Structure formats: C-alpha cells, structure tokens
Amino acid sequence: SVLTFVFCFEQFFFCLFVIFGLEIAAGIWGFSNQDKIIEELKNFYTETYQRYVSTKEASLKETLRAIHTGLDCCGIGGILEPLVRDTCPKKDLLDEFTRKSCIVAINDVFTSKLNLIGGIGIGIAVIMIFGMIFSMILCCAIRRNREMV
C-alpha cells in the first residue's frame, strides 16, 4: 500500500512535468508565431462569417454570437453590418456607433493582451512547479518512513 502511494506520486510528478513541458513549448511557439496565430483567427472568423451568411446554420450562429459577445464586436464591417446583426450583442444607439468590426477586435485583443496571456501562463507554470516540488517531497517522505518501519 505504501508502494502504491509512492508510485502514484511519482506518476503525478511525471504527468505534471510533461504538462509543464508542453505548456512551455506552446508558450514559446505562441510568442514566436504571434502574427501567424492572429491571421489564422481572422481567417477562421471570416470563413465562419461567410458560411453563416450563405447557410444561416444554427451552430455557426452560436459561434458568431460567442465571438461577438466575447470581443464586443459585430461582423466584418462593424456598425454597417446588416447581415449578422442578429448575432451581435445588443447596445444602445450611441454605443452602436463605437462598435468595432471583429477583424479589428481580434487584432486589438491579441496584440494588446499578449502580455496578460503570457503572465497567466507563467502563473500557471509556477503553480505547476510547486505541485511537482510538493509531490516529490511527499514521495521522498513516504519512502523514508517506509524504510524506518
């Protein structure tokens, strides 16, 4: 039973270590390919928008509604967007004039918030490091207790 605990903590450490490595690799890749990621997101939005305009599919409508609400934007043309107005968040008449197009909003969010996204990633990495340290401390303590008995 003690060996089972030690084995579980070693597996837990290994899983955290693998996830930590993947997180670091994804962060480095994301920062080095920032422009490519932004372009891919813009292309995804444009394709989803065009498919919704031509098919009026419910799943595409919900996807656009989530993007529009999350980024506080509306369509490709912003305020002059009559084709997808039903997916845009409702605003007052004056606020309608300040609404950005989603292409501009995607660009703004990922260029202005990239440091915040990186900071959150670093925070998660620090928590994972503490998890790995504590799991190894606990694993070593259990082994030491087992040897004393």
67-84 pLDDT, tens digit per residue, is: 988 988 888 876 666 667
Which amino acid type is present at position 105?
Answer: A
**Residue ranges in the chain assigned as alpha helix (H):** 2-32, 34-55, 58-71, 93-96, 102-112, 114-148
The pLDDT tens digits of the residues spanning 55-64 come to: 989 999 999 9
Place of tokens 């918030």: 113
Q: What is the pTM of this model?
A: 0.66
Distance, in Å, from the CA atom of 61 to the CA atom of 71, rounded to the nearest integer, reads 15
Contact, 78 vs 101, CB < 8 A?
Answer: yes
